[in-house]
Chains A and B, each alone.
Chain A
Amino acid sequence: MLIAFGAIFALVMMLLALAFRPAGTGPTWAAGEKLWIIGLGLVFPALILLCLLAYGLWIGERLVPRSGAEVMRIEAEARKWSWRFSYDHDARRSTENVLHIPAGRPVDIAITTADVIHSFWVPRLAGKLDAIPGHVNVLRIEADAPGTYAGVSAEFSGRGYDNHRFSVIAHEAEDWQRFLEGEQ
């Protein structure tokens, strides 16, 4: 995307620069509505944008969470200025500011909030999704490798916004089993 846009930008700048060529040296067809408006203004961007749109929709469609037996569901509730994660296998099990997930498996995070709007964002795992009062938004994430990932809230929420952070720990299979059994 960046390369294509760089090329478009370079083209526009080149056309701009060439407009300052000495008078009367350009071909006569270069001053018509057909070339500039229909060709460059209408057809050229329309083609590029259609491709881009199709690409975006296709990627987006792949990101649509599909239900499956493998998918684990974790509830995330934001408040000023912390996160509480509850695990659906055990209603009493919850953690503060640390989200535990199994590595290599899709996980659905059901996001909501106890007070104002926040946003759940783990840059290395997925895009952001807002926590909105009264609504539950579901985000599918998957960590390919075990490890710790940084997460932040990405919606301004007042005084404590700077440090409204959490972390995600992705466990290997055995580790994860131990977590489920309550050893962590």
Chain B
Amino acid sequence: MKDLLRIVVSPVVWLASFSAVYALHGLVCQLDPGAPGLPGVSGSRITLIVAFVLAVLVQTGLLVLLSSSRFGADPGFTRSVSLMSGWVGLVATVWTLFPTLVTSPCGW
């Protein structure tokens, strides 16, 4: 069971953070799209970028844990598959949430 958890944890955390950022995006745009921020960057975008960076940090942490000898699986099949899925989580987080950096937050 622990092995199964190691294999799915990173992508599941991606799913959670992806949905959370999407929900946050909805909330931010609903409440106050023009919230004050830094010059040239709106408050809503800053919020979303912070969430993005947090999600990436969490994934990096997971990857470090999965490759550590303390929390990672024993060498062999499970270890290599769990490391692969760790990378899947990290890449998926960067790939699917980078629109926070480039697209306009609340426009249609």
* Residues of chain A whose beta carbon lies under 8 Å from any beta carbon of chain B: 57, 60-61, 64-66, 137-138
Contact = CB atoms under 8 A, between A and B. Distances in A.
Nearest to A61: B103
A100 B95 CA distance: 42
A65 B107 contact: yes
B102 A57 contact: yes
A137 B107 CA distance: 12
Nearest to A63: B108
B99 interface: yes
Contacts of B103: 57, 60-61
Given A60-B103, A64-B104, A64-B107, 12 more contacts: A57-B99, A57-B102, A57-B103, A61-B102, A61-B103, A61-B104, A64-B108, A65-B107, A65-B108, A66-B107, A137-B108, A138-B108
B93 to A, nearest CB: 15
A145 B107 CA distance: 27
Contacts of A65: 107-108
Contacts of A66: 107
Interface of B: 99, 102-104, 107-108
Prevailing SS type, chain A contact patch = mixed
A64 B106 CA distance: 10
The 10 lowest CB-CB distance pairs between A and B, nearest first, are A64-B107, A64-B104, A138-B108, A61-B103, A57-B103, A65-B108, A64-B108, A61-B104, A57-B99, A57-B102
A137 B104 CA distance: 17
B34 to A, nearest CB: 12
15 contacts: A57-B99, A57-B102, A57-B103, A60-B103, A61-B102, A61-B103, A61-B104, A64-B104, A64-B107, A64-B108, A65-B107, A65-B108, A66-B107, A137-B108, A138-B108
A64 B103 CA distance: 10
B14 to A, nearest CB: 16
Nearest to B99: A57
A64 B105 CA distance: 11
A87 B18 CA distance: 40
Nearest to B107: A64
A64 B108 CA distance: 5
B31 to A, nearest CB: 17
Contacts of A57: 99, 102-103
Contacts of B107: 64-66
Contacts of A137: 108
A65 B108 CA distance: 6
A102 to B, nearest CB: 21
